[in-house]
Amino acid sequence: MRVVNLFLVLILTAAATLLSQSPKVLMPEDLFRRNIGSREQMNKQFPPHKIVGNLYYVGTESLASFLIVTPAGDILINSAYEVTVPVIRDSVENLGFHFSDIKILLGSHAHADHMQGDALVKQLTGAKLMVMQEDIPALLKIMPGGKPQVVDRILHDGDEVSLGGTTLVAHLTPGHTRGCTTWSTKIDGYNIVVICSVGVNPGYQLVNNKDVPHIADEYIHSFALLRSLPCDIPLGSHPAMYNMMEKYAKLGKTATNPFIDPEGYKKEIDINEQAFTLRRAEQMKAAK
């Protein structure tokens, strides 16, 4: 009997060890909370910093904005909320650049926390706003203070945006929004991908969606497309998508740039695809 009990103890211990070593399964709500953070974090300035070459971070603790500096003017990706625009401007100027030098304004997707500030940025800088065609209807509904959004160039999947020697490619990665746009570029020899989002927000209907019948197929397409992109430095519309805070803490303390993280890129796609698959399975079961 003592031998049997000891055997059971060993089995249970081994099982507990394996469970503790297994990666935690994150549900869509977990990823949503991780990305959004608190209301304070959305508008709290994060120390602006250089990521690599002419690419800089100028966003907040939970909303990512990126500045690409070129001899012909600058590119801003994501204006965030309208109230966040002064925070972004301060970050740009703290780096020694001029907010008025922004010539092109891009976005990840037409949600207010990423593109509500577009009209104000255009007003302050005269920048040209370029938006993926499928996201324009949603963007036009975002009118802070009644200000209309004026799109200067309509983008399509695979279009290039170039300025001063830097070229970005717009990849349509729908699901999170119809025109969710992932940006890729190459700087100092590194492949950089700014993931739009493949998160399934709370309330998203993946099965029997009357407004977007093929939404699940759009997500599946986006996961496959993201996996096909070469990536050395992953970034995202929310800094938590690429562990910015942890990496920033290592800047200047390691021999290599901590933002170089090809495995982290794959992991981010994996955990979002797993969350999508679980939520879709739940909804398919409920639909039966």
Is there a domain that residue 4 lies in?
no
What's 229's domain CATH number?
A: 3.60.15.10
Cβ proximity of 185 and 166 under 8 Å = yes
pLDDT digits (tens, 9 = 90+) for 10-50: 444 544 443 344 457 899 999 999 999 999 999 999 999 99
pLDDT digits (tens, 9 = 90+) for 239-271: 999 999 999 999 999 899 999 999 999 999 999
Is there a domain that residue 15 lies in?
no
Residue 133 has pLDDT above 70, yes or no: yes
Task: For residue 258, give every residue at least 6 positions away whose Cβ sits within 8 Å of its Cβ, in sequence order, or none.
Answer: 246, 247, 248, 250, 251
Q: How confident is the model at residue 184 (pLDDT cuts 50, 70, 90)?
A: very high
* 56: containing domain: 26-287
Q: Phi and psi of 76, rounded to 5°?
A: -115, 130
Is there a domain that residue 3 lies in?
no
Report how many domains make up the chain. Answer: 1
Is there a domain that residue 18 lies in?
no
Give residue for tokens 């065609």: 133
- What secondary structure letter does DSSP report for 60? B
What is the distance between the alpha carbons of residues 112 and 100, in angstroms, rounded to a whole number? 23
Q: What is the pTM of this model?
A: 0.91
Is there a domain that residue 2 lies in?
no
Is there a domain that residue 157 lies in?
yes
Q: What angle do CA 204, 210, 215 make, to 5 degrees?
A: 50
For the chain, percent of residues with pLDDT exceeding 90: 91
What is the distance between the alpha carbons of residues 245 and 236, in angstroms, rounded to a whole number? 13
pLDDT digits (tens, 9 = 90+) for 42-51: 999 999 999 9
pLDDT at position 181 is 98
Is there a domain that residue 170 lies in?
yes
Give the residue with greater pLDDT, 75 vs 19.
Answer: 75
242 torsion bin: left (phi>0), alpha (psi -120 to 50), beta (else):
alpha
Is there a domain that residue 7 lies in?
no
Six token digits for residue 49? 């910093």
What is the distance between the alpha carbons of residues 114 and 237, in angstroms, rounded to a whole number? 8
pLDDT at position 23 is 53
